Amino acid sequence: MYWGLSLSAWVVVILYIAIVTGIGLYAGLFKPMKRFIHYVVADREIGGVISGVSATATTASAWAWFGLAGWGFVAGFPALFYPMIFILANFLLWGWIASPLREQSEKINSFTIIDHFKKIAGDKTGILALLGGMVVLIFAMTYVGSQLLAFGTMGEYIGWGQNAPLLFMAVFTIAYTFVGGFRGIAWNDMFEGMVMMLTMIGLTAFAIYEVGGFSAFVSGVTDVGPAYGGWVTVAAGTTAIGLGFTMLGQPHTIQRLIAIKDQKSIGYALPSAITFSFIRNTLPILTGISARLVFGEAGLPLGDPELSFLAFAELLHPIVLGFLIISVMAAIMSTVDSFLLQGAATFNRNVLENFFNVDLEEKNWVTLNRITVITIGAIGALIAYAWPGTIFDLVLYGFGGLGSAFGPPLVAMTFKWKYLNKYAIGTSYIVGLATTVLFVHNPVGDLDHTLLSFLSAAILMIIVGLATGERKE
Amino acid sequence: MDAAPLIVYVSLGFVQVLIAIYMGYKIVKREEKKEENRGEL
């Protein structure tokens, strides 16, 4: 063993790092990045399959392994309601929102969703852009922090301590985002998505085999208790609906819809995204349930259900731990890279350019974006280092906040709601941000905070829109 | 039926995968037809 891992596991990890670095470098050299559009949306040249898989991978985050396996371990079959809702939301995103959004974004020359809302609302003051930019920036840094902290926690389990892996993850992801821009991110997310899919399929198959096959799996779940093998509960149902639908408002996911090559590519992106969503949401839950049946609560690594999937690695060849580590790295990196770029693009385009009227040459915007990527990554690392709570306390803010702020206007825009004016959009930003903080700290019964925040932002957005009149085109 | 929730939830997810493949195919065909029409013009 070398620093907690076998030689074969180290080979897997190092090979993974080499491939991701290679992809990032190649993307950076593939085409000169002289303009904002090159760095931020790869000149709108990303193909359908890469867009679909990378959009799903970037939404995955560390939650895909830690959160879902832990949820399956604790809740059993009711947790399986979540993948169904998530897939449905993804269906709406690619089958319904993608086409008009892609068409409109090219027409009005928008590169981020905040930019897009500012332009369709005709806000010349820049206040809407400032507000949206700040919401993205706050939650992007929080989310980056949560993901770095997740890798630190995994490092602790392996015996690396928390700070060194956290720092490594920050520096490495910043480096390839800095060099490769959006093209590097999309290509890497595709590769990272494939890594996640293959490890999830392999580990889940082994986990169910270890339980004793499908029949033993079902009877084992029933033996745990009626609720564990039962239908969805109010708590699990509202959490699933809340998380599923706030997915619609994630700016880093929507970026894929803006950057996709053309309408035909959406036809390839839709099945790619849905198939990957099905695999990456369902299998970790089944693995978590299997871990409960095989190891029970006493046999878990560090006694933590969120690490339940790692318990199976101890039954297999040491190289498997290497594959699980790169799978977690893939989940984390595919999210962090996108938030770094999204945060930088949103800040520069919306806050500096649109609100403060900073006027730079195109190549200088690219340089400034790269500097901002480093800054956001560094602040995210500091948040992760100093954060006293758990990983998913941070995720609750990040995912819920972004989805609640941007989801309602995105859905309203797709409905071609004529009252979606600058006041309505601004209301959704403010209420989404404020109610996320409010409901995380003041839970309302069993209801999930993301659902409450999303609904609050949507309802107030509708009221303000109706009160202030139709949008002027 | 002990496995009912498992079968229902996983099947509904899988059905969405099948519908997505069909819809994706239709979108590609529609766009190819548009491209053809543009070529003829």
Name which of B6, B17, B32 is nearest A274 (Cβ-Cβ): B17
pLDDT for A298 equals 84
Measured distance CA(A336)–CA(A377) in Å, rounded: 8
Quick check: B41 pLDDT over 70?
A: no
State the pLDDT at residue B1.
58
C-alpha span between A265 and A268 (Å, rounded): 5
**Gyration radius from chain B CA atoms:** 18
Average pLDDT over residues A331-354: 92
ipTM: 0.95
- Overall average pLDDT of the A410-430 stretch: 93
Model confidence band, residue A176 (pLDDT cutoffs 50, 70, 90): very high
**CB-based contact A267 B35, cutoff 8 Å:** no
pTM for the whole structure: 0.92
pLDDT, tens digit, for every residue of A67-81?
899 999 999 999 999
**What gap in Å lies between CA A175 and CA A188, rounded to an integer?**
13
Least confident of A195-199, A281-285, A394-398: A394-398
Nearest chain B residue to A222 by CA distance is B2
The whole-number average pLDDT for the span A426-454 is 90
Place of tokens 């840094």: A141
Q: Provide the token pair at A431.
A: 């209420």
Specify the amino acid at residue A100.
P
Number of Cβ within a 10 Å radius of residue A86? 25
pLDDT at A9 over 90: yes
Q: Tell whether the model's pLDDT for residue A472 goes beyond 90.
A: no
Chain B interface includes A77 (CB < 8 A): yes
Type of residue found at A141 = M
Per-residue confidence (pLDDT) for residue A154, from 0 to 100: 87
Percent of chain A with pLDDT over 70: 99
List of chain B residues whose C-beta atoms are within 8 Å of the C-beta of residue A262 = 31
Residue A388 has pLDDT above 80, yes or no: no
Structure tokens at A417: 């709601």
DSSP letters spanning A303-351: G-GGGGGGGGGGGS-THHHHHHHHHHHHHHHHHHHHHHHHHHHHIIIII
> Can you list the domains of chain A with their CATH numbers?
7-392 (1.20.1730.10)
pLDDT tens readout for residues A273-300: 999 999 999 999 999 999 999 999 888 8
- A473 band by pLDDT with thresholds 50, 70 and 90: low
pLDDT tens-digit profile of A145-154?
989 988 998 8
Please list, in sequence order, all residues whose beta carbon lies within 8 angstroms of the beta carbon of residue B3, skipping any fewer than 6 positions away: A218
Place of tokens 């779940």: A221
Q: Does the beta-carbon distance from B2 to A232 stay under 8 Å?
A: no
A99 contacts on B by Cβ (under 8 Å): 27
CA angle A427, A433, A438 (to 5 degrees): 115
Instruction: Give how far the C-alpha of residue A279 lies from the chain's centroid of Cα atoms, to the nearest Å.
Output: 16
Q: Among all chains, which residue has been given the structure tokens 């036809």?
A: A267
Cβ within 8 Å, pair A282-B24: no
Asked if the Cβ–Cβ distance from A264 to B27 is below 8 Å, we say yes
Interface contact B39, partner A, CB < 8 A? no
Chain A CB within 8 Å of residue B21 CB: yes
